[in-house]
A and B are shown apart, each in its own frame.
Chain A
Amino acid sequence: MIAAILRWLKAFFRPPRQERLDLSRRALLLAAVSGAGAASVARIGATEGRHNFSPALIRPPGAVAEDEFLARCVRCGECMRVCPTNALQPARGEGGWTALWTPVLNMKTGYCEYECNLCSQVCPTHAIESLTLEQKQKVRIGTAFFDRNRCLPYASARTCIVCEEHCPTPKKAIWFEEVSVLRPDGQRITVKQPRVDLELCTGCGICENKCPIADERGVRVTSVGESRHPKNQILLSLGSDGLMGY
């Protein structure tokens, strides 16, 4: 019995000639060096999400820091399949070439549903860490910003409160300043001009998704402020509350 096992072991490491894998050592070395070289090209690049923060690189809630995320993600698409709002999309340029087809959120096709953590439930490699719903609701994936040149109460003296109505956080992350503005017919009206509370916004993107300006929205989410990255932050002390988030 033992002799048979030993014979088998010997044959495993030195099989008969025709049963070998037929690999050339030179080609194998070349392949390994190419792989290491590609990795090094990826490491030295000013890669989106690591050094040169890309506003569009919004990762699902629970996603680990970008280096670790790319190391773990196998781009299977389970999260994209399960996302109930169709927000998760296969990345193209958002995260550079090493991030091709990894999941990013697009707030025009969908938004991050406040009562859902399915992407973290289905991720097989924990590139998106398993979070309870309560944990997930505190994770920030980005921050919303108003575009005063497009947002209706600013740009066109019209009433609109759609974003504030949809904002899902317990205390709304969008607040208003009532301002008296001049309409085209010369009448003065009071409109509510929205602002984002940087402390409360989670970057879920429902404001951008529901914004009535169909092409380039009046409020847009970018990745800054994401919980997973200590450096992709608004690096200013915010009054008495200290550094926001961190």
Chain B
Amino acid sequence: MARPRTPAVVWIRRASQTGFFLLFLYLFLQTVYKPVNQTGKGVKLFFQLDPLTALSSGVSARSLASGLLLGGITLLVTVLMGRWFCGWVCPFGALHNAITAWRSGRVKEKIASGGYSRWQTSKYYLLALMLAGCLFGLNLFGLLDPFSFFYRSLATVVFPAFNDLVTAAFTWVYQADPGVGRLKAAAVTEPVYEVLRRNVLSASQQRFLGTLLIALLFAAVVLLNLYRARFWCRYVCPLGALLGVAGKNPALRLKRNDQACNDCGLCVADCQGGANPAGAGSWKPSECFYCWNCRAACPRQALSFGFGAGREAELVAVQGAKEKAR
């Protein structure tokens, strides 16, 4: 069966994820000393958009830093549109998505492992545990907040390592200066290095203490995508849990045409969140990232997203009424 054409909305979603991922990296690179005593603009943006930052700091310190109210907008959008943020905005999610998409594996295996698992509730219990801690002044959210996790890993491990490798590579080319006849490699690499040095690399190599644990955790979280699609987002992410609670009955819903569907399960193979798009009334809104992959994978166009209570909900209501009548 030929794979149907990828709908435009999937490409728009990919562009949005790429854009926010690049924005996150750009703001990261802007978080440096600029003369005199300044950083680039807006470097706190993602933490301000993150309602979990506001909630955790606000609850445990009983006070809120001004810019954090932006997180309220994220929550409001989530109430209407579900965990759209996870699928379209979150840069950490974009990283997991990319690795999930890159992994190999047969479709059959993906169908078998891609569906909803009760273990996905673990993130809600984690959220409850940490929130209860916050009520009594213990704020541990920073350990697992996705932006904190990602930023901390980038700042103390990934970027310093990148900086070191790039500098070492360019230095080697400069010193050895390999070439053919009068064509020398350094003539090409030195201008590139100059651009990198001015815009990307650190003024001096940053070094951090005790980064092994941070590095191992980051590697583990990235590699777990090979075990389950977007493992972090499904099982761990406390921000995902918060948005899942806020978006548990969104206005934007997945609708299924029962006549067209033949239960092939292809939508499950590509589902990022384990939201069970297949099956009558089995869709889990709080696990759905609105990635539109199910819609793209369906060879019979049986799935679609739309506002308002859909066929599926009506069907359930009818079934419920029948059961009651019995």
**A interface residues (Cβ-Cβ under 8 A, vs B):** 4, 7-8, 11-12, 15-16, 18-24, 27-28, 30-36, 38-40, 42-43, 67-68, 70-78, 80-82, 84, 86, 89-90, 92, 98, 100-102, 106, 109, 115-118, 121-127, 133
Contact = CB atoms under 8 A, between A and B. Distances in A.
A27 B125 contact: yes
Choose among B60, B155, B211, B245 the residue with the greatest number of A CB atoms under 10 Å from its CB: B155
Contact of A75 (B33, B121, B143, B203): B143
A36 B308 CA distance: 39
B249 to A, nearest CB: 4
A172 B161 CA distance: 38
A117 B210 CA distance: 25
13 contacts: A12-B249, A16-B281, A19-B248, A21-B121, A35-B133, A38-B129, A43-B137, A71-B61, A77-B151, A82-B31, A90-B211, A90-B214, A92-B209
Interface in B254-306: 281-286
Given A71-B61, A72-B57, A122-B31, A77 B152 contact: yes
B210 A74 contact: no
A27 B121 CA distance: 10
A110 B309 CA distance: 59
Contacts of A33: 132
Interface residues of B, number: 78
Given A23-B121, A70-B139, A86 B207 contact: yes
B234 to A, nearest CB: 13
B293 to A, nearest CB: 20
A28 B129 CA distance: 8
A10 to B, nearest CB: 9
A28 B126 CA distance: 9
A100 B313 CA distance: 46
B148 A35 contact: no
B208 interface: yes
A109 B33 contact: no
B65 A116 contact: no
A116 B33 CA distance: 9
A42 B140 CA distance: 11
B170 interface: no
Choose among A72, A84, A101 the residue with the greatest number of B CB atoms under 10 Å from its CB: A72
A89 B208 contact: yes
A81 B155 contact: yes
A100 B143 CA distance: 8
Nearest to A32: B132
B33 A82 contact: yes
A60 to B, nearest CB: 14
B248 to A, nearest CB: 6
B47 A98 contact: no
Contacts of B179: none
Contact of A40 (B136, B140, B251): B136
Contacts of B197: none
Contacts of B316: 16, 18
B142 A101 contact: yes
A85 to B, nearest CB: 9
The 5 A-B residue pairs whose C-beta atoms are closest, nearest first, are A35-B132, A75-B142, A39-B136, A39-B138, A124-B47
Interface of B: 28, 31-33, 36-39, 43-44, 47-48, 53, 56-57, 60-61, 63, 65, 67-68, 118, 120-121, 124-126, 128-143, 145, 147-148, 151-152, 154-156, 159, 203-204, 206-211, 214, 244-245, 248-249, 251, 281-286, 308-309, 313, 316-317, 320
Contacts of A70: 137-139
B128 A77 contact: no
A71 B118 CA distance: 32
Choose among A4, A33, A34 the residue with the greatest number of B CB atoms under 10 Å from its CB: A34
A121 B209 contact: no
Contact of B129 (A16, A21, A32, A90): A32
A127 B64 CA distance: 10
Nearest to B319: A16
Choose among B31, B145, B203, B214 the residue with the greatest number of A CB atoms under 10 Å from its CB: B31
Contact of B148 (A19, A27, A74): A74
Nearest to B128: A31
Contacts of A102: 142
B139 A80 contact: no
A125 B124 CA distance: 24
A102 B152 CA distance: 10
Given A16-B281, A76-B142, A115 B37 contact: yes
Nearest to A129: B65
B132 A36 contact: yes
A40 B138 CA distance: 8
Given A32-B132, A34-B132, A36-B132, 7 more contacts: A28-B125, A32-B131, A74-B56, A86-B208, A92-B209, A124-B48, A124-B67
